[in-house]
Structures are given as structure tokens and as C-alpha cells.
């Protein structure tokens, strides 16, 4: 079964574009393993901190979301320089996220095993972004 979605023709006229449910179209970032790992890390990180700890929860939310968004934006850029800049920002945000998870674990605000798992995901993200940066240099 094929459905349609609104779109524009090459001449700029409105038209329906067929969309096949069997073959989802992936954005550039969705093709990267680092994006998928960062997305998983962000989801797990969001569940770590109790809601009553607003300051540290907000900081972790912003840092972990920055990783995902900068990987995505970098993947969508065409120049190597732009890609590297966004991946470097994402790497820094991943390191910040890991440090916040360390603070959460040290303060015993969340389960130690859960903190260790999330931190491990961020370590992996940093490793992957470092390799991406080297490949683009």
C-alpha cells in the first residue's frame, strides 16, 4: 500500500509525492551509528534524575539533547569544515553529559548500574565522534 504526502514538483508546483511504508526514507544522521547511540544515551539519561532535582536534570537534558542535535546537524552539512564543527560540539556535549552522570552517581541520585550504562554510552559516543573527526581531517 502506497500513501502520498504533500510536496513540490521541480517547477515549484504543489503535488502529492508517493511514500512507500516498506522503505522508510532515512535522513543523513539516521544512517550513522553514532546518532543511534547518542539517541539511546539521551533517552536513558532523561530517565536517570528524579524530577525534584530540577537543576541537574535540566543541565543533563540540555547537554544530552545537544549531542543528538549536533550530530544530526553535522550529518546534514555538506562541507567537511561544517561537519567537523558540529561533531566537535557534539563531542564536547557528550563529555559534559558523562560528567553530569558521574555527579549523579557520586550523589547517589540514581542507580549506580544505570549511571554506569549511560556513562558507557557517552564514552562510546565520544570515541565514535573522535573517529569521525579524524576521518574528516
Does residue 10 sit within a domain?
A: no
Q: Does residue 14 surpass a pLDDT of 90?
A: no
Of the segments 18-22, 24-28, 78-82, which one has the largest average pLDDT value? 78-82
Q: How large is the average pLDDT for residues 110-134? A: 97
Query: Tell me, what's the pLDDT at 28?
Result: 85
β-bridge partners, 76? none
Q: List phi, psi (to 5°) of 126.
A: -60, -45
Residue 83 lies in a domain: yes
Domain that holds residue 85: 29-136
- Residue-level pLDDT at 16: 67
DSSP, collapsed to helix, strand or coil, labels residue 30 as helix
Whether 110 maps to a domain, the answer reads yes
Nearest-5° Cα angle at 56, 53 to 62: 125
Residue 71: what pLDDT?
A: 97
Per the CB < 8 A criterion, the answer to whether 50 and 40 are in contact is no
Q: What are phi and psi of 71, to 5 degrees?
A: -60, -45
Distance CA 11, CA 14 (A): 9
Give me the number of domains the chain comprises: 1
Q: Which CATH number goes with the domain that contains 46?
A: 1.20.1440.60
> Would you state the pLDDT for residue 22?
74
DSSP H helices in the chain: 33-46, 54-76, 80-106, 112-136
Per-residue pLDDT tens digits for 53-107 = 999 999 999 999 999 999 999 999 999 999 999 999 999 999 999 999 999 999 9
Q: Is residue 19 part of a domain?
A: no
Helices 54-76 & 33-46, crossing angle to 10 degrees?
170
Amino acid at each position: 500500500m502506497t500513501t502520498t504526502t504533500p510536496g513540490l514538483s521541480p517547477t515549484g508546483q504543489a503535488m502529492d509525492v508517493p511514500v512507500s511504508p516498506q522503505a522508510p526514507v532515512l535522513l543523513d544522521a539516521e544512517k550513522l551509528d553514532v546518532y543511534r547511540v547518542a539517541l539511546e544515551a539521551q533517552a536513558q539519561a532523561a530517565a536517570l534524575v528524579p524530577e525534584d532535582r530540577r537543576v541537574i536534570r535540566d543541565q543533563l537534558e540540555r547537554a544530552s539533547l545537544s549531542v543528538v542535535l549536533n550530530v544530526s546537524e553535522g550529518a546534514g552539512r555538506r562541507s567537511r569544515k561544517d561537519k567537523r564543527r558540529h561533531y566537535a560540539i557534539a563531542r564536547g556535549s557528550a563529555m559534559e553529559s558523562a560528567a553530569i552522570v558521574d555527579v549523579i552517581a557520586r550523589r547517589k541520585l540514581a542507580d549506580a548500574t544505570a549511571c554506569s550504562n549511560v556513562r558507557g554510552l557517552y564514552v562510546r559516543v565520544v570515541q565514535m565522534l573522535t573517529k569521525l573527526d579524524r576521518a574528516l581531517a
